[in-house]
Amino acid sequence: MICRHFLTLNDLSGAELKQLIQRAIELKKMQHERVIFEPLKNRVLGMIFDKSSTRTRISFETGMAHFGGSSIFLSPRDTQLGRGEPIADSARVISRMVDCIMIRTHSHDNITQFAKNSQVPVINALTDDFHPCQLLADMQTFWEHRGDIQGKRIVWIGDGNNMCHSYINAACLLDFELVVACPEGYEPDALLVEKAGSRLTVLNDAKIAAKDADLVVTDVWASMGQEEEQKKRELAFNGYQVNEELMSLAASDALFMHCLPAHRGEEVSAGVIDHPDSVVWDEAENRLHAQKALLEFLLA
Ligand code: CP
Ligand code: NVA
């Protein structure tokens, strides 16, 4: 059976991504008006989490409940996956029982291998390399506050990590200018940078990057799995905090986003994230609506 997976944003065309953003905005309005809409009645989402999560788990579980379906939380502690059952075998078995599988794991190869052996759509809920679900929410949030992102200047400050890679994919699909500022040695993947071409600039200076930004985005300096590098990274990322001074270099109406969880006093100052204009709480809520749009797109 041929089915569509969502392993990176590139599994969508630019037009499909825009359609999903608009659908997420509609679904959000319906949810706020308490409209009952159950296109996934009796459908089941399997959710495999090899790493911790607050937003991703709650948004997928709640989304499936709103849609009339259900979800199963699967952790390696309680499944045979955690005891070494091969990924391909697990994919064959689980996908004969559920209608869609969401995976948060370490290596991106794990999810690619899982998808190859799955009869049902597989959704990437974060790997070491990409976090496409978060980008659906971020792009929805930008659209709600500022309209079309095409041609806008988006500035990524910090680690060239999974979130940064997904921003690079989004820049190519939605045609915005992306400036990445990171310390030497923490740049995004060279192949992705090369493919992005002139849309992307990588700098080692946060202040130059922030100039005239329409959106400033950051993320933790040490991602899940990099906890033992925390101290080394705090030193390396000195000068890469998004604070009031850095935001003053951006456009006067610049938005600030962070996928959360955030570390105040490290990658972002409390003054920026807790400012009344901060859109990070909309961004977090939009995980729910954007993923409902994705589930409907893949399954309904
Ligand atoms: N932003 C995000 O993915 O949050 P969780 O790790 O809480 O799911
Ligand atoms: N880059 C972070 C994102 C968390 C949502 C991580 O991978 O831990």
pLDDT confidence tier of residue 276, bands split at 50, 70 and 90: confident
pLDDT 10s digits, 206-257: 999 999 999 999 999 999 999 999 999 999 999 999 999 999 999 999 999 9
pLDDT confidence tier of residue 74, bands split at 50, 70 and 90: very high
Distance CA 99, CA 215 (A): 36
- Asked about 104 being catalytic, the answer comes back as yes
- Catalytic one of 5, 55, 104, 233: 104
Smallest CA separation from ligand 1 atom 4, residue: 55
The count of other CB atoms within 10 Å of the CB of residue 244 is 10
- Asked about 83 being catalytic, the answer comes back as no
- For tokens 């929410």, the residue is 137
Q: What pLDDT is recorded for position 253?
A: 96
Above 60 in pLDDT, residue 76? yes
pLDDT confidence tier of residue 2, bands split at 50, 70 and 90: confident
Sheet holding 255-258, edge to edge: 200-203, 177-181, 153-157, 215-218, 255-258
Above 70 in pLDDT, residue 47? yes
- Asked about 34 being catalytic, the answer comes back as no
pLDDT confidence tier of residue 1, bands split at 50, 70 and 90: low
Contact 270, 264 (CB under 8 A): yes
**Best residue for ligand 1 mutational test, from 259, 273, 288 (most atoms within 8 Å of Cβ):** 259
User: Is the pTM here over 0.75, yes or no?
Assistant: yes
- For residue 29, the CA-to-ligand 1 centroid distance in Å is 23
pLDDT 10s digits, 144-190: 999 999 999 999 999 999 999 999 999 999 999 999 999 999 999 99
pLDDT confidence tier of residue 277, bands split at 50, 70 and 90: confident
* AA identity, residue 118: S
Question: Among all ligands shown, which has an atom nearest to the Cα of 59?
Answer: 1
Structural domains in the chain plus CATH codes: 9-130+284-299 (3.40.50.1370), 134-280 (3.40.50.1370)
Distance CA 126, CA 106 (A): 8
Distance CA 90, CA 92 (A): 6
